[in-house]
Chains A and B, each alone.
Chain A
Amino acid sequence: SQQGEEDPQALSIQEGENATMNCSYKTSINNLQWYRQNSGRGLVHLILIRSNEREKHSGRLRVTLDTSKKSSSLLITASRAADTASYFCATDRQGWGKLQFGAGTQVVVTP
Protein backbone atom coordinates (compact mmCIF):
# COMPACT_ATOMS: atom_id res chain seq x y z
CA SER A 1 0.00 0.00 0.00
CA GLN A 2 1.12 3.54 -0.63
CA GLN A 3 2.29 5.47 2.40
CA GLY A 4 1.82 8.90 0.93
CA GLU A 5 -1.05 10.42 -0.91
CA GLU A 6 -0.67 13.59 -2.90
CA ASP A 7 -3.36 16.16 -3.40
CA PRO A 8 -4.38 17.31 -5.92
CA GLN A 9 -3.81 14.57 -8.46
CA ALA A 10 -3.45 17.17 -11.18
CA LEU A 11 -2.83 20.88 -11.24
CA SER A 12 -2.91 23.27 -14.17
CA ILE A 13 -1.58 26.80 -13.75
CA GLN A 14 -0.14 29.63 -15.78
CA GLU A 15 3.46 30.77 -15.76
CA GLY A 16 4.17 33.10 -12.90
CA GLU A 17 1.57 31.57 -10.60
CA ASN A 18 2.39 29.57 -7.51
CA ALA A 19 1.72 25.85 -7.33
CA THR A 20 0.97 24.10 -4.06
CA MET A 21 0.61 20.39 -3.58
CA ASN A 22 0.10 18.40 -0.42
CA CYS A 23 1.17 15.03 0.79
CA SER A 24 -0.37 13.03 3.62
CA TYR A 25 1.09 9.90 5.15
CA LYS A 26 0.03 7.32 7.68
CA THR A 27 2.87 6.33 9.97
CA SER A 28 5.73 8.07 11.76
CA ILE A 29 8.70 8.94 9.58
CA ASN A 30 12.40 9.64 9.73
CA ASN A 31 12.28 11.99 6.76
CA LEU A 32 10.20 12.98 3.78
CA GLN A 33 11.55 13.67 0.32
CA TRP A 34 10.06 15.38 -2.72
CA TYR A 35 10.95 14.33 -6.25
CA ARG A 36 10.17 15.60 -9.71
CA GLN A 37 9.70 13.38 -12.73
CA ASN A 38 9.52 14.82 -16.20
CA SER A 39 7.65 12.75 -18.75
CA GLY A 40 9.70 9.75 -19.79
CA ARG A 41 12.55 10.63 -17.47
CA GLY A 42 13.94 9.59 -14.13
CA LEU A 43 13.29 11.03 -10.70
CA VAL A 44 15.07 14.20 -9.69
CA HIS A 45 15.51 14.84 -5.99
CA LEU A 46 14.18 18.22 -4.88
CA ILE A 47 14.23 18.47 -1.10
CA LEU A 48 14.64 16.24 1.94
CA ILE A 49 13.05 17.35 5.18
CA ARG A 50 13.71 15.53 8.43
CA SER A 51 11.08 14.73 11.01
CA ASN A 52 12.45 17.36 13.40
CA GLU A 53 12.31 20.10 10.77
CA ARG A 54 9.26 22.17 9.93
CA GLU A 55 10.23 24.09 6.82
CA LYS A 56 12.94 24.07 4.16
CA HIS A 57 13.65 26.19 1.15
CA SER A 58 15.54 25.56 -2.04
CA GLY A 59 15.41 28.25 -4.69
CA ARG A 60 11.77 28.64 -5.69
CA LEU A 61 10.74 25.60 -3.66
CA ARG A 62 9.38 25.66 -0.14
CA VAL A 63 8.53 22.51 1.75
CA THR A 64 6.72 22.30 5.06
CA LEU A 65 6.26 19.33 7.33
CA ASP A 66 3.64 18.93 10.04
CA THR A 67 4.28 15.65 11.83
CA SER A 68 1.26 16.12 14.11
CA LYS A 69 -0.98 16.10 11.04
CA LYS A 70 1.25 13.71 9.13
CA SER A 71 1.33 16.02 6.16
CA SER A 72 3.74 17.96 4.00
CA SER A 73 3.34 20.59 1.33
CA LEU A 74 5.46 21.64 -1.62
CA LEU A 75 5.15 25.18 -2.91
CA ILE A 76 6.67 26.20 -6.22
CA THR A 77 6.72 29.97 -6.55
CA ALA A 78 6.69 31.91 -9.82
CA SER A 79 6.21 28.74 -11.83
CA ARG A 80 7.74 28.27 -15.27
CA ALA A 81 6.80 26.07 -18.19
CA ALA A 82 9.86 23.96 -17.35
CA ASP A 83 8.23 23.07 -14.01
CA THR A 84 5.72 20.93 -15.90
CA ALA A 85 6.23 17.47 -14.41
CA SER A 86 4.89 14.97 -11.92
CA TYR A 87 5.82 15.63 -8.32
CA PHE A 88 6.09 12.83 -5.79
CA CYS A 89 6.46 12.81 -2.05
CA ALA A 90 8.22 9.86 -0.49
CA THR A 91 8.50 8.94 3.15
CA ASP A 92 11.35 7.10 4.79
CA ARG A 93 10.19 5.60 8.06
CA GLN A 94 13.52 4.57 9.51
CA GLY A 95 16.18 6.33 7.46
CA TRP A 96 17.12 3.15 5.65
CA GLY A 97 16.23 4.44 2.23
CA LYS A 98 13.09 2.35 1.92
CA LEU A 99 11.04 5.11 0.37
CA GLN A 100 7.29 4.82 0.15
CA PHE A 101 5.92 6.99 -2.61
CA GLY A 102 2.61 8.67 -3.14
CA ALA A 103 0.78 8.58 -6.45
CA GLY A 104 2.10 11.97 -7.49
CA THR A 105 0.69 15.30 -8.55
CA GLN A 106 0.83 16.08 -12.23
CA VAL A 107 1.57 19.77 -12.72
CA VAL A 108 1.11 21.53 -16.05
CA VAL A 109 2.37 25.07 -16.38
CA THR A 110 1.18 26.88 -19.48
CA PRO A 111 3.05 29.87 -20.92
Chain B
Amino acid sequence: DTAVSQTPKYLVTQMGNDKSIKCEQNLGHDTMYWYKQDSKKFLKIMFSYNNKELIINETVPNRFSPKSPDKAHLNLHINSLELGDSAVYFCASSQEPGSSGNTIYFGEGSWLTVV
Protein backbone atom coordinates (compact mmCIF):
# COMPACT_ATOMS: atom_id res chain seq x y z
CA ASP B 1 0.00 0.00 0.00
CA THR B 2 2.92 2.29 -0.82
CA ALA B 3 1.73 5.87 -1.22
CA VAL B 4 4.27 7.11 -3.79
CA SER B 5 6.10 4.40 -5.63
CA GLN B 6 8.78 4.81 -8.23
CA THR B 7 10.68 2.34 -10.37
CA PRO B 8 13.38 1.39 -10.82
CA LYS B 9 15.04 1.96 -7.46
CA TYR B 10 18.51 1.54 -8.94
CA LEU B 11 19.60 2.19 -12.48
CA VAL B 12 23.10 1.99 -13.91
CA THR B 13 23.43 2.99 -17.53
CA GLN B 14 25.96 4.22 -20.04
CA MET B 15 26.39 7.75 -21.27
CA GLY B 16 24.26 8.56 -24.25
CA ASN B 17 21.47 6.15 -23.38
CA ASP B 18 17.83 7.11 -22.90
CA LYS B 19 16.08 5.98 -19.75
CA SER B 20 12.79 6.44 -17.95
CA ILE B 21 11.78 6.46 -14.32
CA LYS B 22 8.15 5.75 -13.53
CA CYS B 23 6.14 7.13 -10.64
CA GLU B 24 2.69 6.37 -9.34
CA GLN B 25 0.79 7.68 -6.34
CA ASN B 26 -2.31 6.14 -4.81
CA LEU B 27 -3.15 9.03 -2.50
CA GLY B 28 -5.65 10.66 -4.81
CA HIS B 29 -3.49 13.76 -5.02
CA ASP B 30 -3.76 16.26 -7.84
CA THR B 31 -0.16 17.37 -7.91
CA MET B 32 3.02 15.44 -8.58
CA TYR B 33 6.65 16.48 -8.60
CA TRP B 34 10.12 15.41 -9.55
CA TYR B 35 13.00 16.43 -7.31
CA LYS B 36 16.70 15.73 -7.81
CA GLN B 37 19.17 15.08 -4.99
CA ASP B 38 22.82 15.43 -5.89
CA SER B 39 25.85 13.78 -4.35
CA LYS B 40 26.04 16.47 -1.67
CA LYS B 41 22.44 15.75 -0.69
CA PHE B 42 21.09 19.02 -2.08
CA LEU B 43 17.48 18.61 -3.16
CA LYS B 44 16.06 20.71 -5.94
CA ILE B 45 12.73 20.70 -7.67
CA MET B 46 12.66 19.87 -11.35
CA PHE B 47 9.01 19.73 -12.35
CA SER B 48 5.51 19.89 -10.98
CA TYR B 49 2.28 18.76 -12.60
CA ASN B 50 -1.23 19.52 -11.47
CA ASN B 51 -3.99 17.41 -13.01
CA LYS B 52 -1.67 16.41 -15.84
CA GLU B 53 -0.67 20.00 -16.59
CA LEU B 54 2.83 21.33 -16.14
CA ILE B 55 2.90 24.10 -13.53
CA ILE B 56 6.54 24.26 -12.44
CA ASN B 57 9.43 23.80 -14.81
CA GLU B 58 12.74 24.74 -13.30
CA THR B 59 15.86 25.32 -15.32
CA VAL B 60 16.33 21.75 -16.39
CA PRO B 61 17.96 20.62 -19.65
CA ASN B 62 15.38 19.72 -22.23
CA ARG B 63 16.85 16.22 -22.28
CA PHE B 64 14.57 15.74 -19.28
CA SER B 65 10.94 15.33 -20.29
CA PRO B 66 8.21 14.57 -17.78
CA LYS B 67 5.05 12.87 -18.94
CA SER B 68 1.82 12.62 -17.01
CA PRO B 69 -0.63 10.17 -18.61
CA ASP B 70 -3.06 10.74 -15.75
CA LYS B 71 -2.96 12.52 -12.42
CA ALA B 72 -1.78 9.41 -10.59
CA HIS B 73 1.31 9.00 -12.74
CA LEU B 74 4.27 11.20 -13.55
CA ASN B 75 7.10 9.60 -15.45
CA LEU B 76 10.51 11.11 -16.12
CA HIS B 77 12.25 10.41 -19.38
CA ILE B 78 15.89 11.36 -19.82
CA ASN B 79 17.55 11.45 -23.23
CA SER B 80 21.25 11.27 -24.01
CA LEU B 81 22.30 10.66 -20.44
CA GLU B 82 25.40 12.45 -19.20
CA LEU B 83 27.71 11.71 -16.28
CA GLY B 84 26.35 14.74 -14.44
CA ASP B 85 22.87 13.26 -14.46
CA SER B 86 23.97 10.77 -11.83
CA ALA B 87 21.82 11.53 -8.80
CA VAL B 88 18.86 10.37 -6.81
CA TYR B 89 15.54 11.32 -8.36
CA PHE B 90 12.55 11.61 -6.07
CA CYS B 91 8.96 11.61 -7.13
CA ALA B 92 6.47 13.29 -4.80
CA SER B 93 2.83 14.23 -4.60
CA SER B 94 0.51 16.55 -2.71
CA GLN B 95 -3.04 17.81 -2.82
CA GLU B 96 -3.84 20.71 -5.08
CA PRO B 97 -1.40 23.56 -4.47
CA GLY B 98 -2.39 27.06 -3.69
CA SER B 99 -3.86 26.43 -0.29
CA SER B 100 -1.90 27.37 2.78
CA GLY B 101 0.54 24.56 2.87
CA ASN B 102 0.26 20.99 1.75
CA THR B 103 2.29 18.09 2.99
CA ILE B 104 4.38 16.72 0.18
CA TYR B 105 4.86 12.95 0.20
CA PHE B 106 8.01 11.57 -1.34
CA GLY B 107 8.79 8.23 -2.91
CA GLU B 108 11.79 6.14 -1.97
CA GLY B 109 13.96 7.56 -4.72
CA SER B 110 15.58 6.21 -7.87
CA TRP B 111 19.36 6.02 -7.75
CA LEU B 112 20.67 6.77 -11.24
CA THR B 113 24.33 6.15 -12.04
CA VAL B 114 25.64 7.08 -15.46
CA VAL B 115 28.94 5.47 -16.41
Instruction: Give per-residue flags for B38-55: 1 if the beta carbon is below 8 A from chain A beta carbons, else 0.
Output: 001111110010000001
Find chain A residues with CB under 8 A from B40 CB.
103
Interface-located stretch among B11-19, B75-83, B95-103: B95-103
- Is B66 interfacial (CB 8 A cutoff)? no
Total contacting residues, chain B, CB less than 8 A: 28
- Is B25 interfacial (CB 8 A cutoff)? no
CB pair B104–A33 under 8 Å, yes or no, is yes
- Is A48 interfacial (CB 8 A cutoff)? yes
Find chain A residues with CB under 8 A from B99 CB.
95
CB pair B44–A101 under 8 Å, yes or no, is yes
- Bound Cα distance A10, B98 (Å): 34
Find chain B residues with CB under 8 A from A43 CB.
43, 90, 92, 106
12 A-B pairs (CB sep. < 8 Å): A31-B101, A37-B41, A42-B108, A43-B43, A43-B90, A44-B106, A50-B101, A96-B48, A97-B33, A97-B94, A98-B56, A99-B35
Chain B residues in the interface with A (C-beta under 8 A): 31, 33, 35, 40-45, 48, 55-56, 90, 92, 94, 97-109
Given contacts A41-B109, A45-B104, A96-B56, 9 further A-B contacts (CB under 8 A): A35-B106, A42-B90, A42-B108, A42-B109, A43-B92, A43-B106, A95-B98, A98-B45, A101-B43
Q: Which 10 A-B pairs have the closest CB atoms?
A: A31-B101, A42-B108, A43-B106, A101-B43, A96-B97, A97-B97, A42-B106, A42-B109, A50-B101, A97-B94
Chain A residues in the interface with B (C-beta under 8 A): 2, 30-31, 33, 35, 37, 41-45, 48, 50, 86, 88, 90, 92, 95-101, 103-104
